[in-house]
A and B are shown apart, each in its own frame.
Chain A
Amino acid sequence: MIKLLFFAQLREKLGCTSLDHPLPTVATVGGLRAALIARGEPWSEVFADKNVLAAVNQRMAKDNAAISEGDEVAFFPPVTGG
C-alpha cells in the first residue's frame, strides 16, 4: 500500500484529505494518475489536469518517478506561498 495526500483545491474537489491505495500496476507517478482517473468522477476530471503536481516522499516528482511500497505520494496544485 502507498499513502496518498491531497492539498488545497484538489482536496476540496475530491472531498478527500488522504487515502491508502495499493501500489499501481505501473509503479510510477504517471501510472498512479492513470489508476486514479480510472476511479471515475471526480478523480477523472481532477487528474486529467496536467497542472496537478506530485511529490513522492516529500520531494517533487515527475510522471516517470518510481513509486515503491510504503511511499507517501502527494498531489497538489501549483504552489502559491511567499
Chain B
Amino acid sequence: MNGPVSEQAITRIEILDATFRPADHAEQLSQNDSDNGALVTFTGMVRDLVENPVNAMYLEHYPGMTEQALETIIATARQRWVLGHVTVIHRVGMLYPGEPIVFVGVTSRHRREAFEACQFIMDFLKMDAPFWKKEYTPEGERWVEAKSSDSQAAQRW
C-alpha cells in the first residue's frame, strides 16, 4: 500500500467457493475503526429475470491472477484516495438466483473517498479481473458476453 494510510488500514481479498453473507463483511469493516466515519458497500447478486430466466450461474476464474488483479486494483485506489479498510469478496463455482456474487466494502474518514473508491474498484474489477460467467438457462448453457458499457465505465476514471 502506498500513500498516507493509517497503520490499521487492512485490505481483505477472498475468492470463495461457497455462499457468503455480505452483512457479516460490512459489520466486520465497521468494527475497530473509529478513525473512519464512512463505510460504503456494494453487493452484486445473481438475477433471474422473466425476460432472461437463469436457473444457475457458474463462475470460472484464473487462480493466482484473480487475487493479483484485485490487489492491483485496490492498490491503485489507495494511491488515489486516502482509505481505511477495503474488502473485496468474489464467488467462484456454482451460484443460484439471489445469491451474492461480489461484495466491495470501503471505509474512509469522510464519505466522498469511500463512494468514489467503491465505484472505481467495481468498474476496474468488471474490466480487469479474470472471472467468466456461464448461465444455465431453461434453453441451455450460455457464456455471458462482456458489455461495452463496462469498459466505458472504467474509462471515465
Within 8 A of B (CB), among A28-63: 55, 58-60
Which B-chain residue is minimally distant from A81 (CB atoms)?
Answer: B131
Question: Which of the residues A5, A77, A79 comes within 8 Å of B128, measured between beta carbons?
Answer: A79
> Is A8 on the interface with B (CB-CB < 8 A)?
yes
Tally of A-B residue pairs with Cβ under 8 A?
67
> Is A15 on the interface with B (CB-CB < 8 A)?
no
Q: How far is the CB of B83 from chain A (nearest CB, A)?
A: 19
Which B-chain residue is minimally distant from A10 (CB atoms)?
Answer: B132
The answer on a CB contact under 8 Å between A74 and B62 is yes
Question: Which of the residues A58, A78, A82 comes within 8 Å of B62, measured between beta carbons?
Answer: A58
How far, in angstroms, from A80 to B122 measured CA to CA in the complex? 12
Q: Contact size class for B?
A: 20 to 34
> Is A68 on the interface with B (CB-CB < 8 A)?
no
Contacts of B61 in A (CB 8 A): 81
Which A-chain residue is minimally distant from B122 (CB atoms)?
Answer: A82
Proximity string of chain B (30-64) to chain A, C-beta cutoff 8 Å, 1 when within and 0 when not: 00000000000000100000000000000111101
Question: Which of the residues A5, A7, A78, A81 comes within 8 Å of B102, measured between beta carbons?
Answer: A81
Closest 9 CB pairs of A and B: A81-B131, A78-B146, A8-B132, A58-B65, A82-B126, A80-B144, A81-B129, A80-B133, A82-B125
